[in-house]
Amino acid sequence: MLPNLIKDLQKAKNLEQAKLLQRFFKTGKGEYGEGDVFLGIKVPATREIAKKYTGLNIKNIEMLLKSKIHEYRLAGLLILVEKFNKADERGKGDIFNFYLKNTKNINNWDLVDLSAPSIIGEFLVDKSKNVLYKLAESKSLWERRISVISTFAFIKKNKFQDTFRISQALLKDEHDLMHKAVGWMLRETGKRDQELLESFLRKNYKEMPRTMLRYSIEKFPEKLRKKYLNGEV
């Protein structure tokens, strides 16, 4: 099954698209995605291919995650999400633990965003969130991103406390990708409860990196948005 998946992905590669993605995902020396190799397959196409191989076993998924090729890792994660969705509680726990053991290979923002809420977030909805707070303190950019992006699963169920607490912990994170991630999750809380978001912002917006603030208030009315940007709230 694994050779056929790889064959399908290789058949779908697009060298011109790959060049664009290499730049977009910052794969140059010293950049966050250094060394990541792209085939040039867009996410919907990768998803369609992955759907044919949801029976792939965990050992083969681990092999995909260890690949330098981005789309191999993405396909592995998309299959893992499908397996999680169909698993019983014990199976979900096994996949959750497998995911946490492989975070070093979940090492670009799209890989995190397309998998963390669906596996880590969904598994923790009704459980202790301690693991997210440990991840928020990690030296790994990707583990820190997993910590906040996973809370999207809670946000969708109108549970915002952990998003706010983790956002608070990450306010002084130095990486732009974290500013965007935290701002995005805060914006999602605000779409569901603007009053709660504003309560958080009034206490913290002057300390927030500009990008984080801009993302979090993106859906606010223009006049209110300008007040926050101008420090007039």
Q: What is the mean pLDDT of residues 83-94?
A: 98
What pLDDT score was predicted for residue 163? 98
Q: What is the mean pLDDT of residues 104-127?
A: 98
With beta carbons less than 8 A apart as the criterion, state whether 110 and 99 touch.
Answer: no
In the chain, count H helices and then E strands.
17, 0
What pLDDT score was predicted for residue 165? 98
Give percent of the chain above pLDDT 70: 100
What pLDDT score was predicted for residue 106? 98
Q: What is the mean pLDDT of residues 85-98?
A: 98
State if pTM tops 0.85: yes
What pLDDT score was predicted for residue 44? 97
The dihedral over CA atoms of 169, 78, 76, 69, expressed in degrees to the nearest 10, equals -80
Cα–Cα distance, 87 to 93 (Å, whole number): 9
Q: pLDDT tens digit string along 161-209?
A: 999 999 999 999 999 999 999 999 999 999 999 999 999 999 999 999 9
In the chain the domains, ranked by start, together with CATH numbers, are 1-107 (1.25.10.90), 115-233 (1.25.10.90)
Q: What is the mean pLDDT of residues 66-75?
A: 98
Q: pLDDT tier at 118 (50, 70, 90 boundaries)?
A: very high
Give percent of the chain above pLDDT 90: 100
Q: pLDDT tens digit string along 130-157?
A: 999 999 999 999 999 999 999 999 999 9
What pLDDT score was predicted for residue 49? 98
